[in-house]
Chains A and B, each alone.
Chain A
Amino acid sequence: MTERYVVAIDQGTTSTRCIVFDRRGQLVSLAQQEHKQFYPKPGWVEHDAAEIWRNVERLAPQALRRAGITLDQVAAVGIANQRETTVLWDRRTGAPIGRALVWQDTRTDSLVNRLLTRPGADVVQQRAALPLSTYFAGPRLRWMLDHTPGLQERAERGEVLFGTMETWLIWNLTGGLHVTDVTNASRTNLLDVHTLDWSPESLRFFGIPRAMLPEVRPSVAVFGTAAAAFPGVRIGAALGDQQAALFGQTCFIPGEAKCTYGTGSFLLLNTGTELVRSDNGLLSTVAYQVGGAPAHFALEGSIAITGSLVQWFRDQLELIASAPEIETLARTVADNGGCYIVPAFSGLYAPHWRSEARGVIVGLTSYITKGHLARAVLEATAWQTREVVDAMNADSGLTLRTLKVDGGMTADNLLMQSVADVLDVPVVRPLAAETVSLGAAYAAGLAVGYWPDLEDLRRNWHRAGQWLPAMDPARRETEYGNWRRAVERTFDWIQPA
């Protein structure tokens, strides 16, 4: 019998990748292609959806060729995608209408402020269990309808379709199927998380015609059969990238959490089939839905500046030549020397949400060297993780027992030890580094019976490294107190004009 495989399409912010996985969840081959970033104005970020689809078409045969396999050996394709990026296209021609507005794009700032004052805004936020924010896709869709002449009318007539990136890819893969999954739909401000379908009140509030929205499906289910890129192969899953990482880390039990450490970092905690509303500035989101089973929810804490603080240290201060050297420099000293860096470069996110805050370096004395600064850079990521975990424990009533980590910064041994030290829980790294694409592959394989059940996937998870807390509790408390005082010093820096 010939061996069969599962392919993940990981459609990310800077690149698209096709990855082939085997039954043990091991990476067999990878093909990757970057796409162009458009920055037409400050705060605006756009992608060309047509270019991204062309890349998928090109990468599919490449990935199979590198794995030395043929299409009939592919059991299923799964999609993980950059979330909240908004695409519009013509139903008849399939051509994108304008460029896709990327999740980092903040042009809907004043639109969102206007919407927030309108009656019904509270109902919309209640339905979606999300704050109305520039972060999500709904306001972007409204902005595009407002700024493209004649588009609202065309949308009313059903000539224009909306989608996040997975919807766009499935449309192209299948030649015209217009669907989304619950995790992506939960990042639009338009979904009613209680019914897991579009909220009529929210659509009325935003003035968005139902005809342009995709059908909402479970994340793990056969969406259809591909006609292009992987002709004949079933599409078994679609998930937002952070939810895919949670799935790839096999965090299927309430209380299990993962943190992906990259430029920014994303901590997601599985809260089970009950939606938990945060009192501490975290987001409630759909984690995944397997077939007809009840959806699982997650609390999400995003930290804006983690890896990018190391990049700043490298590129702006020029104290190191490469990012990994931050650890070498930090190890030249035994501790932070009393110095703390709070990277509130564009305000503070979860759990503070202070947009007027700006970054500080505090505790400077003549004793401080660049080694202490390097320590403070790494500790900033650890303490920011602690703040999010504290908020999650408070909101969920669950106590985090272990943190599963992935992403580029897990190569930093000192950082991972610091995270374990300040959280006072073990930090574990899985043997599979590509958790986002692995999650998409797992979900797709599950949908077509390539893997029998979630338990089977959990058996594929192996510990590749573990950091145990080793910090003296008294010192942890003192340091946390210092960090909190440092955070307070970032508040109220930007003054109202």
Chain B
Amino acid sequence: MPGTVQSIERAAAILRMLAGGPGRLGLAEIARSLDLAKGTVHGILRTLQHVGFVEQDRGSGHYQLGAALLHLGTSYLDINELRSRSINWADPLAARSGEAVRIGTVLEGRVLVVHHVFRPDDTFQTLDIGTLLPLHATALGKVLLAYRAERPAADLDRYTHRTVVAAKELAAELERVREAGWGADVEEYTVGEAAVAAPIRGYGGLVVGAIGVSGLVERICDSRYRPQPKLVGYVRDAARAVSRDLGAARR
């Protein structure tokens, strides 16, 4: 039988204490009640604070339950925070790839575009931050879908003759994304266009968004309709860089 993880048990005990108490509790108080060394409790509290489950009062230094615990079901990372933290990596991706960059996250079963960098050729382009895209027909969407527990809707819209609409086929495609660590769409949403995307991970490896490039299929893909390996490398490097900034462990 696999053993239990002691520090998680202790973290749970601390959360129960904070939930049961009348208000904020001090470090010494928690350590005394649980009969643990202050250093141990402090380490656990700091980790819980880092993930938003615990908040520390700036004046007294006392701890209370964090707002993130009340919203466990929703995304923990504010979308504007996600844009702000990834902007410095999205720009170089556009420069290196020569293509438009988008960052997306899931909102009510769709991809919400939270950041958009123009293709750096100074042609007229329009910012489409706030636009919603289908999950199953875009590279960003497939990457986001691949790391979620929920299954895609049963009747999927067809955008082109290449759109993957069969549940079995989509499941295989998502499995391929998980294995490769990146996803693509080749004329699956718009005829003549292709895209590559990779996951952005937060703490603990949680996927909080996806970053990708998109453009004309002849620029994104080789002659055999496969995304160019160099481009895939750029996208994955950018995704890793943002993830590192967000506190994901190196992998």
Contacts and interface: CB of A to CB of B under 8 A. Distances in A.
B40 interface: no
B244 interface: no
A411 B87 contact: yes
Contacts of A24: 95
Interface string B106-144: 000000000011101110011101000000000000000
Interface stretch (B21-29, B73-81, B178-186, B230-238): B73-81
B80 A324 contact: yes
Interface in B57-115: 67, 78-81, 83-85, 87-88, 91-92, 94-96
A433 B95 contact: no
Nearest to B86: A411
Contacts of B129: 413
A465 interface: yes
A463 interface: yes
A5 B82 CA distance: 32
Contacts, number: 68
Given A431-B94, A432-B91, A465 B117 contact: yes
* Most-contacted residue by chain B among A326, A462, A466 (CB, 10 A): A462
A467 B116 CA distance: 12
A27 B96 CA distance: 11
Contacts of B94: 431, 464
Contact of B95 (A326, A328, A408, A431): A431
Given A26-B95, A431-B94, A466 B118 contact: yes
| Chain B interface, DSSP helix/strand/loop, else mixed | helix
A325 interface: yes
Contact of B81 (A26, A27, A324, A463): A324
A260 to B, nearest CB: 15
A412 interface: yes
A323 interface: yes
Nearest to A30: B88
Interface residues of A, number: 25
A325 B78 contact: yes
Nearest to B87: A411
A26 B92 CA distance: 7
A323 B84 contact: yes
Contacts of A411: 80, 83-84, 87
A324 B118 contact: no
Given A411-B83, A411-B84, A322 B78 contact: yes
A465 B118 CA distance: 6
Interface in A15-46: 24, 26-27
A408 B95 CA distance: 19
Interface centre among B79, B80, B117, B122 (most CB of A within 10 A): B80
Contacts of B67: 321
Interface in A462-491: 462-467
Interface in A312-342: 321-328
B127 A466 contact: yes
A24 B117 CA distance: 18
A431 B96 CA distance: 11
B120 A325 contact: no
B80 A431 contact: no
Contacts of A433: 87-88, 91
Contacts of B122: 462-463
Contacts of A410: 87
A442 to B, nearest CB: 16
A487 to B, nearest CB: 28
Contacts of A323: 84
Q: Quick one: which of B83, B85, B120, B126 has the most chain A CB within 10 A?
A: B120
A298 B141 CA distance: 47
B80 A465 contact: no
A462 B120 contact: yes
A462 B121 contact: yes
Contact of B127 (A325, A408, A412, A465): A465
A464 B129 CA distance: 13
A463 B94 CA distance: 11
Contacts of B83: 324, 411, 413
A365 B112 CA distance: 34
Given A321-B67, A328-B78, 15 more contacts: A24-B95, A27-B92, A322-B78, A322-B81, A411-B83, A411-B84, A412-B80, A431-B91, A431-B118, A433-B87, A462-B121, A462-B122, A464-B91, A464-B118, A465-B117
8 contacts: A24-B95, A26-B95, A325-B80, A325-B81, A326-B80, A327-B80, A431-B118, A463-B120
